[in-house]
């Protein structure tokens, strides 16, 4: 086992396995170490096979830990195992985690995101709670320091300033991972570009950028960074402006109603912004009213388009506010 494998294994064994009930824990522990260290997700569904997401494919997990395509070999998950696992993850007090649970997720120490499904309890049209849990999705967090090295040169304007930037890409192409690394580099400074570092404020509505656990970021987002965790984007931006005097605000997945107004308020305050949005290209962005309005207002000075063509984080193109190409990946 290499040193990297040791630390990856230690992280999974120390931060995830203790929160699985003994039966499922034993199955996962039996997975080949190279496969275990490269898992992206572990899926528990009531009455369904135990599955993992590995190398961009779903696999059944046999009782001996072997990854298989055969349903007949798969370990079958009981609903009671899901409930017991959730009790472990919530430190035997599901009620204490109700605010997170009603949002559909928990965050474990280490930044691992636990997605939840079950029966939603509504009150006056709002989600009050989730009960009768039938599914858990463990998304294994891995920081990839340096993954934004090929992008940051298009964002840094000079040794103390940045371009307002929108990072565009489809799901699972690495947008959030790159935002996290950009935060670390812009906050702590980047000597290669003579960039001394700026005060960064993150509005982490879905707790995915900084991956806070009990308020403490589990990911390295830089030592000049403040995080508004689990806070709606528009409200979080306003709170940061009022209280934390950021020089850059970073947020994820813009495009919903109210985002334009909040972003323009940030820019009118002289604060830079770096955000991400779902989309395969700039043309697709223009089909969404809120984003089209931001494009027309020239809110962003750089648009960076990502894909997974050559792996997550593939840089497809960079264009400026006037849609003039700065970089384009050759086909």
239 & 270 share domain: yes
What is d(CA 239, CA 60) in angstroms, rounded to the nearest whole number? Answer: 45
149-203 pLDDT, tens digit per residue, is 999 999 999 999 999 999 999 988 999 999 999 999 999 999 888 999 999 999 9
Q: Are the C-beta atoms of 236 and 205 separated by less than 8 Å?
A: yes
Q: What is the pLDDT of residue 106?
A: 87
Q: Which of 139, 168, 201 is the last residue of a domain?
A: 139
22-37 pLDDT, tens digit per residue, is 999 999 999 999 999 8
27-68 pLDDT, tens digit per residue, is 999 999 999 988 989 999 999 999 999 988 999 999 999 999
Q: Which of 139, 166, 185 is the last residue of a domain?
A: 139
Q: Are the C-beta atoms of 30 and 65 separated by less than 8 Å?
A: yes
pLDDT at 8 over 60: no
162 & 134 share domain: no
Q: Are the C-beta atoms of 182 and 210 separated by less than 8 Å?
A: no
Number of domains in the chain: 2
106 & 193 share domain: no
CATH number at 117 reads 3.30.450
- Give 13's pLDDT tier (boundaries 50, 70, 90): confident
Backbone angles phi, psi at 7, to 5 degrees: -70, -35
Task: Report yes or no on 244 lying in a domain.
Answer: yes
Q: What is the pLDDT of residue 4?
A: 40
131 & 211 share domain: no
Q: What is the pLDDT of residue 89?
A: 92
Q: Which of 139, 172, 197 is the last residue of a domain?
A: 139
322 & 203 share domain: yes
Angle ∠(239,241,247) on CA atoms, nearest 5: 135
> If DSSP codes are grouped into helix, strand and coil, which group holds residue 132?
strand
User: CB-based contacts of 235: which residues, under 8 Å, 6+ apart?
Assistant: none
pLDDT at 7 over 70: no
pLDDT at 95 over 80: no
158 & 224 share domain: yes
Task: Report yes or no on 147 lying in a domain.
Answer: no
Please state the rounded mean pLDDT for residues 303-307.
97
96 & 186 share domain: no
- Give 5's pLDDT tier (boundaries 50, 70, 90): very low
- Mean of the per-residue pLDDT values for the chain? 91
Higher pLDDT residue, 143 or 137? 137
Higher pLDDT residue, 207 or 74? 74
188 & 273 share domain: yes
CATH number at 183 reads 3.40.50.300
pLDDT at 6 over 80: no
204 & 312 share domain: yes
* Containing structural domain, residue 87: 3-139
Q: Are the C-beta atoms of 286 and 295 separated by less than 8 Å?
A: yes
Q: Choose the weakest-confidence range: 121-135, 153-167, 242-256.
A: 121-135
Cβ count near 65 (within 10 Å): 16
User: Phi-psi category of 323—alpha, beta or left, where left has phi over 0 and alpha has psi -120 to 50?
Assistant: left
Task: Report yes or no on 144 lying in a domain.
Answer: no
pLDDT at 10 over 50: no
- Give 120's pLDDT tier (boundaries 50, 70, 90): very high
Sign of the torsion formed by the C-alpha atoms of 90, 93, 96 and 97: positive
Task: Report yes or no on 255 lying in a domain.
Answer: yes
Please state the rounded mean pLDDT for residues 203-215.
89
Task: Report yes or no on 146 lying in a domain.
Answer: no
18 & 69 share domain: yes
Backbone angles phi, psi at 265, to 5 degrees: -65, -40
User: CB-based contacts of 149: which residues, under 8 Å, 6+ apart?
Assistant: none
pLDDT at 326 over 90: yes
Q: What is the pLDDT of residue 295?
A: 94
């Amino acid at each position: 086992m290499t040193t990297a494998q040791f630390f990856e294994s230690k992280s999974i064994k120390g931060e995830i396995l203790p929160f699985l009930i003994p039966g499922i824990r034993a199955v996962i522990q039996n997975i080949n170490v190279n496969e275990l260290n490269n898992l992206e997700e572990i899926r528990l569904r009531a009455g369904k096979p135990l599955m993992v997401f590995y190398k961009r494919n779903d696999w059944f997990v046999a009782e001996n830990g072997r990854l298989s395509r055969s349903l007949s070999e798969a370990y079958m998950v009981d609903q009671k195992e899901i409930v017991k696992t959730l009790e472990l993850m919530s430190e035997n007090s599901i009620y204490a985690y109700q605010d997170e649970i009603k949002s559909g997720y928990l965050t474990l120490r280490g930044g691992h995101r636990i997605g939840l499904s079950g029966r939603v309890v509504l009150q006056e049209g709002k989600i009050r709670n989730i009960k009768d849990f039938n599914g858990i999705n463990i998304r294994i967090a891995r920081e990839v320091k340096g993954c934004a090295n090929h992008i940051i040169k298009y964002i840094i304007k000079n040794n103390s300033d940045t371009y307002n930037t929108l990072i565009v890409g489809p799901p699972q192409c690495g947008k959030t991972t790159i935002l996290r690394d950009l935060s670390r580099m812009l906050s702590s400074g980047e000597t290669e570009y003579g960039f001394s570092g700026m005060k960064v404020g993150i509005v982490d509505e879905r707790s995915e950028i900084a991956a806070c656990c009990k308020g403490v970021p589990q990911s390295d987002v830089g030592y000049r960074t403040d995080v508004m965790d689990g806070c709606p984007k528009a409200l979080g931006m306003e709170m940061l402006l009022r209280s934390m005097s950021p020089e850059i605000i970073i947020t994820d997945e813009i495009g919903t109603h109210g985002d334009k107004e909040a972003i323009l308020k940030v820019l009118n305050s002289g604060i830079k912004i770096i955000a991400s949005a779902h989309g395969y290209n700039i043309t697709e962005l223009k089909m969404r009213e809120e984003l089209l309005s931001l494009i027309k207002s020239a809110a962003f000075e750089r648009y960076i388009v990502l894909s997974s063509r050559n792996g997550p984080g593939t840089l497809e193109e960079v264009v400026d506010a006037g849609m003039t190409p700065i970089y384009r990946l050759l086909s």
